[in-house]
Amino acid sequence: MRPYEMSLTEAADAIRARRLSPVELVDSVLERIERTEPRLRAYAAVDAERAREAARAAERDIAAGRHRGPLHGIPMGLKDLIDVAGTATSAGSRVRADHRAAGDSAVAARLAAAGAVLLGKTHTHEFAYGLTTPQTHNAWDPGRVAGGSSGGSAVAVAAGSATFALGTDTGGSIRVPAALNGVVGLKPTYGLVSRHGVTSLSWSLDHVGPITRTVEDAGLVLTALTGYDPRDPASLTAPATDYRPAAGTDLSGLRIGVPSTYYFDRVDPEVETAVRHAVDRLRALGARLVDVEIPMARYVQATHWGLMVPEATAYHERTLRTVPDLYQADVRVLLEAGELMSAGDYLRAQRSRTLMRDAWHRLLREVDLIAAPAVPATAVKAGQETITWADGSAESVSDAYVRLSSPANITGVPSLCLPVGHDTAGLPIGMQLLGRPLGESVLLRVGHAYERTRPARELARAA
Amino acid sequence: MSPGDLDPAEAARWAARSGLSLPADRHAAVAATAHHIHSVVAVLRELEFGDTPPAHAYRAEQEQPDAAV
């Protein structure tokens, strides 16, 4: 196995055992970037010299007995919404030309303290306001969308051009590209990971989280990211936790909710089959399956839009007036139309959110977690705008990709997306596990148990 | 178009009232998108909220902006 093919866990174990040096690993991943970027375009910027210098420093530290932990010497990419001092946070937009971040975001600082090596910034849909990331190509079929908005991060991890990456998620932007590229994405509990220094799409819905090759990898990264940060008003004071899942696969005693409404409606039959097969596998590991009804399903999209649209417009208020022509057409018109929403619309969405959170908390007293498809369809062809379902209804690609993700943004509950197979075209299918607030350890345990029953995943085919 | 919808000129006037001056070639597209957004969020009017408060997070104490992580 070549170093760029290693999962984070494998690479960390090899570095700790001195079987692999950070310099070898980073060189291998940088070579991989050179080979894959012409086809996939996952990165907005790569700083190879900085990465090599950090790898040499990590090698020296580890040789001197100063091993900082599993992320030490591991190369990673950051979504280009995440500030790194002295570098541009371009946010996929011409609006940010000449930008330079004054300081590190909280997550960049935490990863640097853990010894992770920054490779570069990965492409995002402009200001995270979209679900395709048109700059980037799907790692399994370059003619298809990467998903978004953290498309560059997911493609880089799937292709072997980053050992892990960070994304952000306001309505599915970690989990959608993770699902479409066959990697793991974790949207943590709202407030668990600080958003200080991360460009906002919608303050009340934004999350930061890891994109990795395995569930165990996601646990390792999450452990490094969490901790109270007074600079993020939503930051939680959760106790420090080691999120690395235990090795066991026994799920006896766990109650897994399987939605009888909403999550399997208007879902591609191949996606449904793969997810139900994965759920059956969890039952075979000892879990008890419980039918559950999703509360307030009729109000999910209205609540999500009622929060996100006016908040996004507010964030861009100044530049929408000074440099509107620098926005891409799809984002500009949403920002402009958001000016016409009333305070009443926004407050109804905030009050609906309260009701929805309460209803989900009641639901999650009946079960320990919920298993469902991550997205209702695999990656569509680039340029495709709508999906037509078996019932004859048509839905925009963006609406379809957000539909199953946004409940976790509205309620703030954690959601782990992991690959559970491929469709007949060879495109990855993702399942999501939704848990109680701060229930990440349960999700990671279940996801890891599932992965241990499957053969190790390979890198994306087209990469 | 239902009676509650904005035509392109009205959409431009509402935007101007928000401080956003839209060029004429933007009026129709913005009105159409605003109509779509409105049709999605209007469903929330069906809900009986009673005393339900909004889900804002607000704390009276001031955070320390330069506090260490």
Tens digit of pLDDT at every position of chain A (463 positions): 999 999 999 999 999 999 999 999 999 999 999 999 999 999 999 999 999 999 999 999 999 999 999 999 999 999 999 999 999 999 999 999 999 999 999 999 999 999 999 999 999 999 999 999 999 999 999 999 999 999 999 999 999 999 999 999 999 999 999 999 999 999 999 999 999 999 999 999 999 999 999 999 999 999 999 999 999 999 999 889 999 999 899 999 999 999 999 999 999 999 999 999 999 999 999 999 999 999 999 999 999 999 999 999 999 999 999 999 999 999 999 999 999 999 999 999 999 999 999 999 999 999 999 999 999 999 999 999 999 999 999 999 999 999 999 999 999 999 999 999 999 999 999 999 999 999 999 999 999 999 999 988 889 977 7
Residues of B in contact with A355 (CB under 8 A): 47, 49, 52
Asked if B55's CB is within 8 angstroms of A351's CB, the reply is: yes
- Give B64's pLDDT tier (boundaries 50, 70, 90): low
Up-side HSE of residue A24: CA atoms within 13 Å toward CB? 13
Domain definitions of chain B by residue range: 3-47
Mean pLDDT value across residues B15-39: 97
- Tell which residue, A368, A353, A327, has the closest CA to residue A129: A327
pLDDT at A461: 75
What integer best gives the mean pLDDT of chain A? 97
* CA–CA separation, B69 and B66 (whole Å): 9
Q: Are B44 and A348 in contact (CB under 8 A)?
A: yes
Distance from CA of A415 to the nearest CA of B (A): 20
Burial tier of A51 (Cβ tally within 10 Å: 0-12, 13-18, 19+) = buried
Closest alpha carbon within chain A to B41: A302
Among residues A317, A340, A201, the alpha carbon closest in space to that of B39 is found at A340
Residue B67 has pLDDT above 60, yes or no: no
Task: Check if the beta carbon of residue A352 is closer than 8 Å to that of residue A296.
Answer: yes
Q: What is the CA radius of gyration of chain B?
A: 19
∠A405-A409-A413 over CA atoms, to 5°?
100
- Whether A113 contacts chain B with CB within 8 A: no
pTM for the model: 0.97
User: To 10 degrees, what angle do helices A106-113 and A215-225 make?
Assistant: 110
**Strands, sheet with A75-79, edge to edge from the N-terminal-most edge strand:** A43-46, A117-122, A75-79, A164-169, A207-212, A184-187, A415-422, A428-435, A369-373, A255-259, A288-292
Q: Look-up: residue for tokens 């990165």?
A: A43
> Whole-angstrom Cα distance, residue A216 to residue A8?
9
A238: contact with B, CB 8 A cutoff: no
Torsions phi, psi for A25 (to 5 deg): -65, -50
Q: Return the C-alpha torsion angle A401, A406, A407, A409, nearest 10.
A: 150
**Is the minimum CB–CB distance between A353 and chain B shorter than 8 Å?**
yes
Crossing angle (nearest 10°) for helices A440-452 and A215-225 = 150
Which residues have CB under 8 Å from A251's CB, separation 6+? Answer: A282, A285, A286, A287, A446, A449
Q: What pLDDT shows up at residue A434? A: 98
Alpha-carbon distance of A240 to A191, in angstroms, equals 14
Say if residues A67 and A16 touch (Cβ distance below 8 Å).
yes
Contacts of B29 in chain A (CB under 8 A): 333
**Which residues of A are less than 8 Å from B54 in CB distance?**
347, 350-351, 353-354
Asked whether A170 and A415 are in contact (CB, 8 A), the reply is no
Contact yes or no for A301/B40 (Cβ under 8 A): yes
A399–B contact, CB cutoff 8 A = no
Tell me if residue A21 is catalytic: no
Q: Which pLDDT does position B65 carry in this prediction?
A: 53
Residue B15 distance to chain A (closest CA, Å): 6
A357/B55 CB distance under 8 A:
yes
Q: So what's the pLDDT on residue B69?
A: 45
To the query of whether residue A149 is one of the catalytic residues in this protein, the response is: yes
Active-site annotation holder among A173, A202, A204, A405: A173
Is residue A304 a contact partner of residue A409, using CB atoms and an 8 Å limit?
A: yes
Q: E-assigned strands of A146-226? A: 164-169, 184-187, 207-212
One-letter identity of residue A457 = R
Query: Does A411 contact chain B (CB < 8 Å)?
Result: no
Contact by Cβ (8 Å): A70, A12 = yes
Q: What is the pLDDT of residue B56?
A: 77
Q: Do you find a cis peptide bond into A149, omega within 30 degrees of 0?
A: yes
pLDDT at B16: 97
Look up residue A430 and give its two tokens.
Answer: 């993702």
What span, in angstroms and rounded, lies between the C-alpha atoms of A282 and A234? 33
Cβ contacts of A196 on chain B, cutoff 8 Å: 69
Mutation to test the B interface, candidates A339, A398, A411, most B Cβ within 10 Å: A339
- Classify A52 as helix, strand or coil: helix
What pLDDT score does A160 carry?
Answer: 98
CB-CB under 8 Å, B20 with A339: yes
What was the ipTM of the complex prediction? 0.93
> Collapsing DSSP states into helix, strand and coil, what is residue A102?
coil
Nearest CB among B14, B19, B41 relative to A345 is that of B41
Nearest residue of A to residue B46, measured between CA atoms: A299
Distance from CA of B3 to the nearest CA of A (A): 16
Cβ contact, residue pair A230, B6, below 8 Å:
no
Q: Is A381 a catalytic residue?
A: no
Distance between CA B2 and CA A303 in Å, rounded? 22
CA dist A373 and A395 (Å) reads: 17
Please name which of A313, A110, A113, A288 lies closest in space to residue A193, comparing C-alpha atoms.
Answer: A110
pLDDT in tens, A26-57: 999 999 999 999 999 999 999 999 999 999 99
CB within 8 Å of chain B, chain A residues 278-317: 298-299, 301-303, 305-306, 309
Q: What is the CATH number of domain A3-241?
A: 3.90.1300.10
Give dist(CA A203, CA A64) in Å, integer. Answer: 43
Interface test with chain A among B20, B30, B41, by most A beta carbons within 10 Å: B41
